[in-house]
Amino acid sequence: MIYITRKFHFSASHRLYKEGFSDEENFKKYGMCSNPNGHGHNYILEVTVGGEVDPETAFVLNLKELKDIVQTSLISKVDHKNLNLDVDFMKGIIPSTENIVIQIWNIIKPLIDNGQRKLHSIKLQETENNYVEYKG
Amino acid sequence: MIYITRKFHFSASHRLYKEGFSDEENFKKYGMCSNPNGHGHNYILEVTVGGEVDPETAFVLNLKELKDIVQTSLISKVDHKNLNLDVDFMKGIIPSTENIVIQIWNIIKPLIDNGQRKLHSIKLQETENNYVEYKG
Amino acid sequence: MIYITRKFHFSASHRLYKEGFSDEENFKKYGMCSNPNGHGHNYILEVTVGGEVDPETAFVLNLKELKDIVQTSLISKVDHKNLNLDVDFMKGIIPSTENIVIQIWNIIKPLIDNGQRKLHSIKLQETENNYVEYKG
Amino acid sequence: MIYITRKFHFSASHRLYKEGFSDEENFKKYGMCSNPNGHGHNYILEVTVGGEVDPETAFVLNLKELKDIVQTSLISKVDHKNLNLDVDFMKGIIPSTENIVIQIWNIIKPLIDNGQRKLHSIKLQETENNYVEYKG
Amino acid sequence: MIYITRKFHFSASHRLYKEGFSDEENFKKYGMCSNPNGHGHNYILEVTVGGEVDPETAFVLNLKELKDIVQTSLISKVDHKNLNLDVDFMKGIIPSTENIVIQIWNIIKPLIDNGQRKLHSIKLQETENNYVEYKG
Amino acid sequence: MIYITRKFHFSASHRLYKEGFSDEENFKKYGMCSNPNGHGHNYILEVTVGGEVDPETAFVLNLKELKDIVQTSLISKVDHKNLNLDVDFMKGIIPSTENIVIQIWNIIKPLIDNGQRKLHSIKLQETENNYVEYKG
C-alpha cells in the first residue's frame, strides 16, 4: 500500500450554533464562533488515497482524476459559500470542522473506492492552528 | 531608520457587492465573491513600524505595546465577525482587501506615530495567493 | 474515531549534555548542541486528541478547553524558559526532542483522557527540518 | 516506540512517459508531465525512523547520522539531476512520485534498520499540492 | 498608491551554461546547476501592481483579470516546460533567476500598465532559500 | 537594479536585560524575554543584494559566494550559540532583534559591496510573528 495526497483550498463562512438555543446559550457553548452574522476561513483540505501502484501508469491514481472528482463533487459546492445556508449536504448539521470532515468523507468515498484504491483519510485545516482528520 | 513588523491573524466573512446593483450585476463584477450569503477568510495582517532604536530599550517599540494597540483598536473588532454587517469602520464601504487595508491604516496610524516612530506599511493577505500593501 | 489537533508555539533554550561527561565528551556526542552556554529554538507543538463527535456540541472537544489545558499545564512552564534550568519536569533529564515529547505526553494525557476522548499523539518540531512524534 | 523525522530538499527534473508509446499516447496518459524536454520540481523528502530512546544519548538516533546516511546514499545522487537520465536506481522506471518513494525506501531501509530502530515511512512532496507516503 | 500582489506557481527544468564553454568551464562557473541533463524547480512568482483604488469596483484591478493576463502570457508558456529548450522568450538567454525575472517583467508590463495602474515588481522564488526581485 | 535574496537559518539563545538594572526592573521592561536563564529562537535571516546582472554569468552575484560570505562571517558565529555570552560582536549590546540586525549589516556590508553590487537589506525573523528589516 502506498498513499497519495492532494491538497485543495476553499474559502467559506459559517456560524456555530444549535437551533432552538438562544444567542446567549450559543455564545456560552461556541464563543465568538456563534457570532450571529457569521465569520469565515480559508480551509485547506487534504484527500489521501491508498492503493497499489498501477504498473501501466506508475500511479495509484492520476492526480488529474482526483482533482476532477473533488472539484466537482465538493469544492464547487463550498468555495465562496456560506456553509450554513448555501451547502445542501450541511443542511441541519452544525458546521464544526468535525462535522464537515465526516460529510466530505461520505461524499468522496464512493467516488474514489474501487478494487485497486481506497479513500484513506480526509484532513481539514480550519486555521493555521487547528485541523481535524478522519479515516472512517 | 529600522523597520519592525508584527503579524496578526483574524477570521472574518464578507460579501463583495455594490448597493443599488442587482445580484446579477454584482456577480458580473465580483464573481463568486458576491455570493449573497457571504464567504470568509483567515486574514493575515502585517503592521510595520519604522523608527530609530531607543538606546534605553534597544527597541523601535516594544512588541507588547504594538500588540496591545492593534488588538484593541482592530483585531477585537474584526475577528470572528462579518465585515459587511458587524464592523463600524466598514459601514457603507465595499470590503475589498484594498478598502480594508486603507481603513486599517487610518485607524492604526494615529495610535502609533510619535516623534520617534511612524507607521510604515500595512499588508493584508486574504488568501495564500493574494495580498495588498499600503504605505499611506 | 475522529482526530482533532491544535498547534502551540513556545520559544526555549536548552543544552544537550550528559552529567558526569566532560565538555569534550559531550561535544563528541552532541556536537554544537552541547555548547556550554546553550542555544534555543521556536518549538511547534501539535496535540492530537481522538474521540467521537459529541452530538450536543458537534465537537470531539472544545478547542478552547484544549487550549486552556495545554496552556496552563505546559506552555506557561516552558515558553521563554531554559529547559535545563527552569523547568521542573525536565530536571535530571537530557532535553532532547524525544525526551521532551515523552514528558509532555505524560503531563497532558491524564488531563485529556476521559470516557469519550483520548490523547492520540504529541508531535514536537524543533527546527524547520526535524520533528518527533509519540503515541504512548 | 517514538518516531523522529528529518526533512531533506532536492531539485530535480523528470519526464513521465512509457517507453514504446508515442508522444501522443504519453500526452494522453500524463498530460503536461510528458513534455519531451522535461520539467522539474523542488522535492521535499521526509524520512521517519521509529525506535526506543537510547538512554545513553536520549536519542532514537543522532540526526547527524541520519543526515549523513540520506545525504550520501540519496541526495547526492538526485539533487540537481535529471531523474530519467542521471540516476542509476531510476533506470527503466517511470519517475512518478510513487515509484521514486518506493526506490528511496528500498535504498535507505537497510542503512537505517538495526535491533533498536527501523525506517518507519518515506514521504515525498512533489509540489505544494501533492505528496506520497510509503511505509513498506 | 496601493499595491496588490498575486502569487503564481510553475514547475520547470533548466540548465545554467554558457554556449561556447566546455562542460568543465560551465561546471566551474555554475556548479551542479550546469548538470548537462538539467534539473528543475517549483518556481513561485509574485506579480505586484500599484495604482489607485477604483471607486466603481473598490479594486486596483480585478484579480481575475490579473490571473488571466499572467496565465495566458506567461504561465502557459513555462509551466511543465524546459526553460532552455521550450520557451521562446528565453532562447539564447541563460535561464538564471535574474534573467527570467527581467523577461517576465518585459512581457507582463505592457499588458498591465494603463492610466490607472502600473506593474510595480516581479518577484521569483527558485527554491525555499532564494528569490530575485525586479522593479524595472 | 535587480535584487537577489538568500535565506539563512540559525538557532540561538538570548536574554534581554539592561546591565545595572535589577531582575524586577528588567522584567518590567522586557517581560518573559528577561528570564535570567535565557530562552531561544530559530532565527531566519534574509540577506538581499542589489546590482546589475553580470552578462558573463547572468548573476548579480553567485549564490555560492554569498552563502560562503555569510556562513563564514556570521552563521558560524551565532548558530547554536548564546547571543549574550558567546558572540564577540554582541558583547555589551542588548540582543534585541533590532540590535542584532544592525550588527549583521555592519559585518556583512564591507564583504559584499563592490563597484557592481551593494548590500540592500537585512531582514531577521525572530518568531513566526515578528521580524525586523534594516537598509542602513
pLDDT per residue over E118-133, tens digit each?
999 999 999 999 999 9
Q: D59 pLDDT band (50/70/90 cuts)?
A: very high
Return the C-alpha cell found at E14. 533548466
Find chain B residues with C-beta within 8 A of A84's C-beta: 37
Choose, from D41, D46, D120, D126, the residue flagged as catalytic: D126
Q: Is E114 exposed, middle or buried (0-12, 13-18, 19+ CB in 10 A)?
A: exposed
| Separation of alpha carbons C11 and E127, rounded Å | 27
Residues in chain A: 136
Of A3, A53, A64, nearest to D31 by CB-CB distance is A64
Alpha-carbon distance D58 to C94, whole Å?
6
Q: Residue A58: left (phi > 0), alpha (psi -120 to 50), or beta?
A: left
Measured distance CA(A124)–CA(A110) in Å, rounded = 19
Distance from CA of E45 to the nearest CA of B (A): 10
Domains detected in chain F: 2-11+38-134 (3.30.479.10)
Q: Do chains E and F touch (3 or more CB pairs under 8 A)?
A: yes
Are residues A130 and C64, on separate chains, in Cβ contact within 8 Å?
Answer: no
The Cα–Cα gap between A104 and B44 comes to 27
Q: Which tens digits make up the pLDDT trace of C2-57? A: 999 999 999 999 999 999 999 999 999 999 999 999 999 999 999 999 999 999 99
Find cell 520557451 and name the residue.
E87
Please say whether the beta carbons of D124 and A4 come within 8 A. Answer: no
Mean per-residue pLDDT for C84-101?
98
Average pLDDT over residues D94-108: 98
Q: In chain C, whose CA is at the least distance from the CA of F86? A: C37
Q: Chain-wide mean pLDDT for chain E? A: 97
Sign of CA dihedral A83, B77, B7, F136: positive
DSSP reduced 3-state for B113: coil
Nearest-neighbour CA in chain F from E131: distance (Å): 5
Which of C80, C88, C130 to mutate to test binding with chain F, by most F CBs within 10 Å of its CB? C80
CB-based touch A/B (3+ pairs, under 8 A): yes
**Is D33 noted as a catalytic residue in this protein?**
yes
How many interface pairs between D and E have CB atoms less than 8 angstroms apart? 79
F5 CB neighbours in chain E (<8 A) are 130-133
The answer to whether C99 contacts D4, with C-beta atoms less than 8 Å apart, is no
B59 closest CB neighbour out of F98, F131, F134? F98
Q: Read off the pTM.
A: 0.97
Give the distance from residue F14's alpha carbon to the nearest chain E alpha carbon, in angstroms: 25
E2-13 per-position pLDDT tens digit: 999 999 999 999
Q: How confident is the model at residue B32 (pLDDT cuts 50, 70, 90)?
A: very high
β-strand pairing of D130-134 with B117-127: unpaired
Which residues on B lie below 8 Å from E1 (Cβ)? 135
pLDDT interval class at F129 (50, 70, 90): very high
Burial classification of residue B129, based on how many CB atoms lie within 10 Å of its CB (0-12 exposed, 13-18 middle, 19 or more buried): middle
Closest residue in chain A to residue B42, using alpha carbons only: A41
Q: For C75, which DSSP code?
A: I
Q: What is the pLDDT of residue E60?
A: 97
Determine the pLDDT at residue D128: 97
Average pLDDT over residues A8-31: 95
The SS3 of residue C22 is: coil
Chain E residues contacting D via beta carbons under 8 Å: 9, 11-14, 32-33, 35, 37-42, 79-82, 84-86, 127-128
Inter-chain CB proximity A37 and B12 less than 8 Å? no
Please compute the mean of the pLDDT values over residues C49-74 and round it to a whole number: 97
Which amino acid is it at B52?
E
d(CA A100, CA A81): 14
Confidence label for E22 from pLDDT (cuts 50, 70 and 90): very high
Q: Which residue of D has its CA nearest to A55?
A: D94
Q: How much is the average pLDDT of C103-111? A: 98
pLDDT band at F130 (very low <50, low <70, confident <90, very high): very high
- Give the C-alpha separation, C2 to C59, whole Å: 10
d(CA F104, CA E48): 29
Pairing of strands C2-14, C39-51: antiparallel
F120 is catalytic: no
| Residues of chain A found within 8 Å of residue C56, distances taken between Cβ atoms | 18
Model pLDDT, residue D16: 97
Q: Cβ A40–B35 below 8 Å, yes or no?
A: no
Give the closest residue to E80 by CA, choosing from A21, D38, D128. Answer: D38
According to the model, what pLDDT value does residue F11 have?
A: 98
Cβ-based contacts under 8 A for chains A and C: 45
Please report the pLDDT score of residue D66 as a whole number. 98
- Of D65, D80, D98, D133, the catalytic one is D80
Q: What is the mean pLDDT of residues B32-44?
A: 97
CB-based contact A133 C7, cutoff 8 Å: no
